[in-house]
A and B are shown apart, each in its own frame.
Chain A
Amino acid sequence: MSDKELLVTKIREGTVIDHIPAGRALAVLRVLGINGSEGYRVALVMNVESKKMVRKDIVKISGRTVDEKESNLITLIAPNATINIIKDYDVTKKMKMKVPSVIEGLLRCPNPSCITNNDPEAFTNFLTVSESPLLLKCSYCETIIDEMQVVKQVL
């Protein structure tokens, strides 16, 4: 078995997330709320060669699909990722991804004086002000965060 085959072994049912920027596979799992305790078989490949991206990460999750909301959240850290839903070893659905216009709860406002960091009932709510480059604005204090800050937070 070659290295390549080892890395891309097919899954029967689940989700394959490809073209993740190198080093961000763990962040993708975080966005999906997967930490290993759920029992899913997860294959995580980091820094493999890619024609398009030079280096990329791949995540394969057996027995779990990804919904539209989750796919959209993944665009925040992996804007060019592809998400394929697998059934009986075949791709049954390619998720269409769109940067969400509102991101609720996932992120933290970096402004320590923001109400969301100071009241247990005030949950974060970011609005997308630019998709590329990614810029999100806290809808309470208007602090703007970029893609790197999002990745850092998710990791």
Chain B
Amino acid sequence: MPRALLPKHIISSLDLDRREVDTIFDMADEYEKKGRVSKELSGKVIALAFFEPSTRTKNSFESAVKRLGASTIGFSSSEGTSVEKGETIADTVRMLEGYSDMIIIRHKFDGTAKFASEVSHVPIINAGDGKHEHPTQSIIDLYTVRKIKGHIEGLNFCVLGDLKYGRAVNSLLRLLTKFKPGKVFLVSPQQLKLREEVKSTLNYPVIETSSLQDVIGETDVLYVTRIQKERFADEVEFEKVKESYKVDLKAVEMMKRDSIILHPLPRVNEIDRKVDKTPQAKYFYQASLGVQVRMAIIKYLFGGLK
């Protein structure tokens, strides 16, 4: 197939250029104005291949597909599918591409979406592959920032929590390479620092620290992620770090008045529930924007620029 005719996939945040991200943001704004209802993709069928369980991502993609007038097929875990009978990922993708016009895929293995894109003749959207990437989440994240702050350039970002295994973090930091952020602070326990292979793909300097207190006052966007207990060999060690990465009212008091707190969710205990009522807490608003952004992403891959 000639290059120009190959479908465009979204596997990594790095697959999109600035113009494309801005287009998706503008399209998401348009969908919001239209009440998030459109029939542009009527007759299309989109496969949701969720080999790994998901609540938010799957439901918001499903809602986005239906609001675009398309319908869905697929599954929400490997259970009960032919994968359980030993079918390879490649064969599952081949089957789905025959039945659908696009495949949205989530899998626990790193690199699955890229592999699927090499097998598939229809566009692939990566809805999370292991600890690798979750690009559509990062588009929602920065869309939220643009909605609230009006711009992304020059803002100081602080990314907090598990930076080693968090795929949303990787995608966010990579999407920020398309903008010119101010300072970017990475706050994590020593054992959960950002992996070198991700850091080496960034085009801006990062400031790594293990103390949130040191940087929270300078932060415009605080991006909180869950510190995953299962990553710690020693539970005592986890208990020690757990509290130091908790965003509570005391931490919010140290923040600028117009700063915002985002979280890709699900949240466990890393943000105190009392923080939910503060003006900085924007994580539920962020989640609510998921549908219009995913509508824009899907439509963009079907030729949104025309």
Report the minimal beta-carbon distance from A88 to chain B, rounded to whole angstroms.
46
Cβ–Cβ contact A115 & B197, under 8 A: no
Secondary structure at chain B's binding surface: helix, strand, loop or mixed? mixed
Smallest beta-carbon distance A40→chain B, Å? 36
Pairwise interchain contact B115-A122, C-beta atoms closer than 8 A: yes
In the complex, whether A111 has a CB less than 8 A from a CB of chain B is: yes
A-B contacts at CB below 8 angstroms, number:
57
- On chain A, the number of residues with a Cβ less than 8 Å from chain B's Cβ atoms is 19
Known contacts A141-B111, A141-B130, A141-B132; decide if A115 and B198 are in contact (CB<8 Å).
Answer: no
- Counting chain B residues whose Cβ lies within 8 A of the other chain, the interface size class is 20 to 34
Knowing A113-B108, A142-B132 are in contact, say whether A119-B196 is a contact too (CB < 8 A): no
Whether the pair A142, B115 counts as a contact (CB closer than 8 A) is no
Q: Which of B90, B108, B111, B198 contacts A140 (CB 8 A)?
A: B111
Which residues of chain B are near A113, meaning CB under 8 Å? 108-110, 130-131
Contact residues of B between 71 and 125, Cβ < 8 Å to A: 88-90, 107-112, 114-115, 119
A141 and B110: CB pair below 8 A? Answer: yes
Per-residue CB contact flags for chain A residues 115-155 toward chain B (1 = under 8 Å, else 0) read 11011111000000100000001111111100000000000
Per-position 1/0 for B175-204, Cβ under 8 A of A: 000000000000000000000111010000
25 contacts between A and B (CB under 8 A): A111-B110, A113-B109, A113-B110, A114-B111, A115-B89, A115-B110, A115-B111, A116-B111, A118-B89, A118-B109, A119-B88, A119-B109, A121-B89, A122-B89, A122-B90, A122-B111, A139-B111, A140-B110, A140-B115, A141-B110, A141-B111, A142-B110, A142-B111, A142-B198, A144-B196
